[in-house]
Amino acid sequence: MDATVTPDIIYTKVDEAPELASASLLPIIQYFASAAGVSVGTKDISLAGRILATFSEHLGENQRQPDDLAELGKLVKTPQANVIKLPNISASVPQLQAAIRELQAQGYPVPNYPETPANDAERDVRARYDAIKGSAVNPVLREGNSDRRAAAAVKKFAQANPHRMGAWTKDSKTRVAAMSGGDFFSNETSVTLDRDVTAKIVLTTQTGDEIVLKDGLSYPKGCVVDASFMSVAALSAFLAEEIEKTRAEGVLFSLHMKATMMKVSDPIIFGHAVRAWLAPVFEAHADRLADLGVNPNSGLGDLLERVQGEVEIMQMIDDIVSERPPMYMVDSDRGITNLHVPSDVIIDASMPALIRAGGKGWGADGKEQDAVCVIPDNSYAPVYDETIEFFKANGALNPATAGTVQNLGLMAQKAEEYGSHPTTFEMPAAGTVRMVTGDGTVLHEHAVEAGDIWRSASTRQAPIEDWVQLAIDRQAATGYRAIFWLDATRAHDAELIEYVTPILQAKGVADRFEIMAPREATRASLETITKGDNTIAITGNVLRDYLTDLFPILELATSAKMLSIVKLMQGGGLFETGAGGSAPKHVQQLQGENHLRWDSLGEFCALGESLKFLADARGNAKARILGDAVEEATQGVLDHDRSPGRKVGQPDNRDSHYWFARYWAEALAAQSEDAGLAAHFAPIAEALAENEARILEELHAGRGQAVDQGGYYHPDPDKTAAIMRPSATLNAILA
């Protein structure tokens, strides 16, 4: 195919377990799709790929690659877009540095990440790397709002085969701790613009100096523009208090942040938690720690590596830790704590997992214990607090009888992208921060201290209106209880309510919707699904991110099996395949045991929707038949329990792909709408069935043995293909 022609479907190249699975699944998809005249191509949005594209001038001619993310960013703004997006790494600084080291070891001379840039050249490199880290991909691709829900087949299977839930008791000591003041929630201001504006963000210090933090901002009429800050004095006092309270309560201490998506603010907050944990060390040895290059934002693990051999500091750390409460562990066997690496504990995965386990986390002794869940900002902490209190009072959710919570999320055009925006700053000095328009109007003003974290975000009118219409359409299609999760006492939410209410009234559907603050909406939703009924959570961007893990993990045991459709505002489609939070452990298991437990059910669901969308957009009847057959194949994988097991010796991801291909071929051979497709796939279905024993034997050869895919962030494609496509028989049938 001509390289300049955009494929009918783009399947993203990503990282970790989803990309390993792609090495097995994508050739199957491409083979089946070709029978309907559908081309499936790839675009590289992996962390390594984005690094190489960003620093192409440092590379040899045969090492360079195009900026696929930029190309996709253009495509999603067209009606032709049809993108299947797998979860990619939202890199923390430690992950970014690890990827850089791996690429350099492979012979790619990309520059180091300058933690403390010393000149303009290093500042340029730092800025370019900072644009890669965190949630850099999603804001580019999400040119539409999110419709995320459990596919009917997945929900039906989960109810028939309920997963294990930890028991909740009324005397559980597990609780959520959040700041009562001085946080982003309490300091937020918001305004809806009555005209197009340009703006800049300026810090006027107490000595009268003026520091321009950001210039050249522009916002259209109708845009909701927010600003807020977190006081580090209030944060530090809160953390110190919670450490002591947790020690007195005799439970685990845990911090739950999103240092990947909130790539500016949350690593700083995480660093303050590390400082609070080892406060006497930082007070007594500040100069030596600075000489050693210690940055608490990088985590306790990095600090401990840097102080190796510093006998006095190491002894002091041991003494302090012995007096601290026990800590929630990421990996008890390896001694990796909650504070080791900022990207190890991601709130939208860690909190649902703890709640599903009955409020228990793992301690250093390898035993489960109650925990204090520290979520400093109070914007969305009430969601988790209310969930915990609900289950304390009522017991764990029963997946066999529970209804479902669907989600419609406001995210188009970078809506509410708080921590990822280039408008989040750590204050270099005390003073007053102002956002000032070109005509001198002050939109926002906050008095800050040195080190405070100030942030701004914006939400445009068109995405808000599209989001409300999406909610109206979904409620009409389902008849479910529908709740806008908006807090009238919060500045930003109050501005959104001023949009939502008139639209609902003008459409004559105001009586079909409720508006509740997140705490009240959480309780209402839990009450609804506990009774076996269904509800739609209509939320902003961050809550979309949190809730589309929380409720699926409670209902289905995982969020990776969700149907996630982004109806792009220009008419295209973006089909997301689920969460990747557990992907690193999956990769480690593959490397050590040649077993990949990643479940591609999310990819199956996205593929079916993508093919049916293509059929409607291009008038391709064969594509619709393929899409319908995907749904039958997905149902077959579920009904016959062909999903991956967790342990070596059980079927894994590659086995599930064989069964998916077989069920897909059988469904196509049996359909009567297109005789040509039926004739094409009948012998394939027969060959896959007849060779079942040989294929499975070949797939299982080498299981239990260590394998090397030639890199973690930038694996060798040939080595990866050899690992993920080990059945010569299967490959020959689909050649």
Can you give the length of the chain in residues? 735
Residue 539 within any structural domain of the chain: no
In the numeric block, the tokens 């701790």 are attached to 177
pLDDT of residue 628: 96
Tokens of 18: 């989803």
Residue 385 within any structural domain of the chain: yes
Residue 353 within any structural domain of the chain: yes
**HEC readout, 613-641:** HHHHHHCCHHHHHHHHHHHHHHHHHHHCC
Q: Which residues of the chain have pLDDT under 50?
A: 1-2
**HEC readout, 458-473:** EECHHHHHHHHHHHHH
Residue 649 within any structural domain of the chain: no
Nearest to 24 by CA among 638, 600, 647: 600
Euclidean distance between CA atoms 91 and 584, whole angstroms: 12
Euclidean distance between CA atoms 603 and 588, whole angstroms: 21
Residue 652 within any structural domain of the chain: no
Distance of CA 432 to the CA centre of its chain: 34
Nearest to 579 by CA among 595, 596, 603: 603
Tell me the residue range of the domain where 385 lies. Answer: 175-183+231-398
Residue 674 within any structural domain of the chain: no
Residue 585 neighbours by CB under 8 Å, 6+ apart: none
3-state SS assignment for residue 78: coil
Residue 255 within any structural domain of the chain: yes
Euclidean distance between CA atoms 189 and 416, whole angstroms: 14
Residue 308 within any structural domain of the chain: yes
The values of phi and psi at residue 653, to 5°, are: -55, -40
Distance of CA 679 to the CA centre of its chain: 42
Residue 508 neighbours by CB under 8 Å, 6+ apart: none
CA gyration radius for the chain? 26
The identity of residue 647, as a single letter, is: K
Number of structural domains (the chain) is: 1
Euclidean distance between CA atoms 187 and 444, whole angstroms: 11
The values of phi and psi at residue 687, to 5°, are: -65, -40
CA dihedral 455, 460, 466, 470 (to 10 degrees): 10
Euclidean distance between CA atoms 369 and 249, whole angstroms: 12
3-state SS assignment for residue 372: strand
